[in-house]
Structure 1
Amino acid sequence: MRVLLIEDDSGLRAIVKDILEEASYQVDVAETGEDGLYFAESAVYDVLIVDIMLPGLNGIELVKQLRQQQIFVPVLFLTARGDVDDRVVGLNAGADDYLAKPFATEELLARLRALLRRNRDVGSDMTVKSGDLVLNPSAKEAACGDVPLVLTDKEFELLEYLLLHQGEILTRERISYRLWGHDADTNESTVDLYIHYVRKKLKPFDLDKRIRTIRNVGYIWSES
């Protein structure tokens, strides 16, 4: 699962990034609110961790702009401010949770897990499911029933992204950003090629048709 960490304190940013990567999250980082907003607008992240006191565009204004654009990715505010009024301001701006510094590693990870499970078919063990198809992101393992599904890392990431957004049309651009990042030299044919690879792996389980093509737009994972 992919996390965007927006934090201007280089020391804390490095520590949180290491914590998340050790817990098997894919992490992108931004040092300013403006850079964070640019990355977040791609709508490819599963959760944002945002410091309120950012230079320039602060965390509250950043989240307000995302919500105005109808981007409703879960947001966890990290801040040194811990009183009730500050928490209310952050939550009213559109954040989903609030964690005051300093914080315990396990509390950070527990709050992230809770946010990721909201409104998604994600198990308490953070597995991602669609019927008999189960993905375990921490181990990069997939199975349909008791039969393992052998996927490359990129194929796994693509299938995970589709399942996390079941019923939602994902453009080729969003898929490309998700799998290869904003600056990667990829094109629409690369996305189409990996869709083909994943469909081929799903075909023995009669699941390949769950990935529907939306002409001239992208793809969607159909629940039936």
Structure 2
Amino acid sequence: MSNILVVEDSERIASFIVKGLQSHGYQVTHTPNGEDALKLSAAAEFDLVILDIGLPGIDGFAMLEQLRGSGNEVPVIVLTARDSVDNTVASFEGGADDYMSKPFSFEELLARVRRRISTPGEVVTETTLSHKDIVLDLRTRRVSAAGIDHDLTAREFTMLEFFLRHAGQVLSREQILSRVWGFDHDPGSNVVDVYIRYLRQKLGNDSIQTVRGMGYRLG
């Protein structure tokens, strides 16, 4: 199991990242400050560090410099709200392996995580998720419903994967928004209802049930 260190001082963003990664089978350690992150990285072996730049005390740039100065070459994905060329350059020059500007979707973060910690020859044991006659292929990102194959957009794939990993559970609009569109979402948006309709068109009207006042669940 891959071990990831998340260094993020925002409780809301940290929870969004940690819960998402844990739901995909990663072991996650979280700390809100650079000092503790340096101690943790010295005491334990991590496969990846997700590092926010705007930390209290030792900021992300200083932590990254100290991390690399100690000889630690763990892959680092930098997160920042400071979306500028200077910060991008500073991150890479400081030793970061990847860079993401806030806000971001969990789907994009997960793709970058998988790219950074995958190893040649790695065996992927989970290739499909299924519920009744719905089978989602995690490699081709296509779905089969009642024996008919359908292509999925990136958002449709992420939403359906979320439902399949929580089959039988009622998922609120807020949970779906957070998982599929990221932490910086508009709770008043109807985008979830729109994409539920898209999935029903491909999977059947009864594939996803509306639970009034609560959300949706797989049929």
Please give the per-residue CA displacement for 1:50-99, whole angstroms capped at 9, x wherever unaligned.
00010000111111111111110000001111111110001110110001
* Counterpart residue number, 1:169: none
Q: Which secondary structure does the structure 1 equivalent of 2:43 belong to?
A: coil
CA contact (8 A) 1:47 1:116 kept: yes
Tell me the distance in 2 between the aligned counterparts of 1:138 and 1:15.
25
**AA aligned opposite 2:37:** G
Tell me the distance in 1 between the aligned counterparts of 2:8 and 2:75.
16
**Identical-pair percentage:** 38
* Counterpart residue number, 2:94: 93
Instruction: Indicate the RMSD between aligned Cα atoms, in angstroms.
Output: 1.9
Tell me the distance in 1 between the aligned counterparts of 2:38 and 2:113.
20
CA contact (8 A) 1:116 1:122 kept: no
Gaps of at least 5 residues in structure 2 are: 129-219
Mark the structure with the bigger radius of gyration. Answer: 2
Please give the per-residue CA displacement for 1:14-50, whole angstroms capped at 9, x wherever unaligned.
1111111011110000011101111112251000000
* Counterpart residue number, 1:171: none
* Counterpart residue number, 1:121: 120
CA contact (8 A) 1:43 1:73 kept: no
* Counterpart residue number, 1:54: 55
Tell me the distance in 1 between the aligned counterparts of 2:84 and 2:70.
29
* Counterpart residue number, 2:32: 31
* Counterpart residue number, 1:18: 19
Structure 2 counterparts to residues 66-77 of structure 1, below 5 A: 66-77=67-78
Q: Which secondary structure does the structure 2 equivalent of 1:21 belong to?
A: helix
Gaps of at least 5 residues in structure 1 are: 128-134, 140-224
* Counterpart residue number, 1:3: 4
Tell me the distance in 1 between the aligned counterparts of 2:69 and 2:58.
15
Give the TM-score normalised by structure 2: 0.55
Q: Give the 3 Å change call, closer, same or farther, for CA 57–73 of structure 1 in structure 2.
A: same
**AA aligned opposite 2:120:** D
Please give the per-residue CA displacement for 1:164-207, whole angstroms capped at 9, x wherever unaligned.
xxxxxxxxxxxxxxxxxxxxxxxxxxxxxxxxxxxxxxxxxxxx
* Counterpart residue number, 1:40: 41
Q: Give the 3 Å change call, closer, same or farther, for CA 52–122 of structure 1 in structure 2.
A: farther
CA contact (8 A) 1:4 1:48 kept: yes
**AA aligned opposite 1:79:** T
